[in-house]
């Protein structure tokens, strides 16, 4: 099963992708995590991406299209995958279609703006593995330490209120139109966030018929 998770920053795409992958036994592919790893490693892609990310802007389509082509060609993607945070523009979605990437379903996670702002201020991510936590809603077992790998939890540079507002603006302009793009192709399933991450996950499995 090849899935796309759509949703505003803070909607919980990463958290849901992680749960789905464990349940379905397929990898989750987050362009945000791939880019953050590239920045940490100082690769040419990372150097190109950093200034866009820190400013809350999108990384140019051609960079993302290259990353995703490479990643989906790896053998662990053969049985399916969950795409988290990509495509994020109509240009990326069209390029994926042109490349022959087949998508079975697109889940749009819907959430209020108020809830997004609340969540992002409490978000912490693992420096080592990228897992995300929320100080209120999804705290780690030990403060400041990742449950999965023992890595250090940090606040992302782009999670400051000012940058979050910019990312939301970009989301409405560039990414929200993807819901119509996939609805036209009969692939879109909408899920509203209500309750905890398990409740949202149950709703996602239900719309997917799983
Ligand atoms: P969130 O979903 O919370 O915004 P991500 O980790 O998915 O966080 O992305 C962080 C940043 O990485 C984005 O603001 C953007 O700069 C860049 N990025 C990630 N994926 C893409 C993409 N598909 N296209 C363009 N930029 C991207
Ligand atoms: Zn970790």
Q: What is the pLDDT of residue 194?
A: 81
Which residue among 16, 58, 123 is best mutated to probe the pocket of ligand 1, counting the most ligand atoms within 8 A of its Cβ?
58
Query: How far is 56 from 88, CA to CA, in rounded Å?
Result: 13
Q: What is the pLDDT of residue 100?
A: 96
Active site residues: 13, 88, 123, 156, 167
Q: Which residues contact 195 (CB under 8 A, 6 or more apart)?
A: none
Question: Residue of the nearest CA to atom 15 in ligand 1?
Answer: 58
123 lines ligand 1 (CB under 6 A): no
Q: What is the pLDDT of residue 152?
A: 97
pLDDT tens per residue across span 73-103? 999 999 999 999 999 999 999 999 999 999 9
- Please tell me the pTM assigned to this model: 0.90
pLDDT tens per residue across span 32-64? 999 999 999 999 999 999 999 999 999 999 999
Q: What is the pLDDT of residue 136?
A: 87
């Amino acid at each position: 099963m090849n899935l796309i998770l759509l949703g505003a920053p803070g909607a919980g795409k990463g958290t849901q992708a992680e749960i789905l992958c464990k349940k379905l036994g397929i990898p989750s592919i987050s362009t945000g995590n791939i880019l953050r790893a590239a920045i940490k490693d100082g690769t040419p892609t990372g150097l190109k991406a950093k200034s866009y990310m820190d400013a809350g802007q999108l990384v140019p389509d051609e960079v993302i299209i290259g990353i995703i082509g490479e990643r989906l060609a790896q053998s662990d993607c053969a049985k399916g995958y969950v795409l988290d945070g990509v495509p994020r523009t109509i240009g990326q979605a069209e390029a994926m279609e042109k490349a022959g990437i087949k998508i079975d379903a697109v889940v749009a996670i819907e959430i209020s703006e108020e809830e997004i702002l609340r969540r992002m201020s409490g978000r912490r991510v693992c420096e080592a593995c990228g897992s995300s936590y929320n100080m209120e809603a999804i705290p780690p077992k030990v403060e400041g330490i990742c449950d999965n790998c023992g890595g250090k939890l940090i606040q992302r540079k782009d999670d400051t209120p000012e940058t979050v507002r910019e990312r939301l603006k970009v989301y409405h302009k560039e990414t929200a139109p993807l819901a119509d793009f996939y609805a036209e192709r009969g692939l879109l399933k909408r899920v509203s966030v209500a309750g905890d991450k398990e409740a949202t996950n149950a709703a996602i499995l239900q719309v997917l018929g799983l």
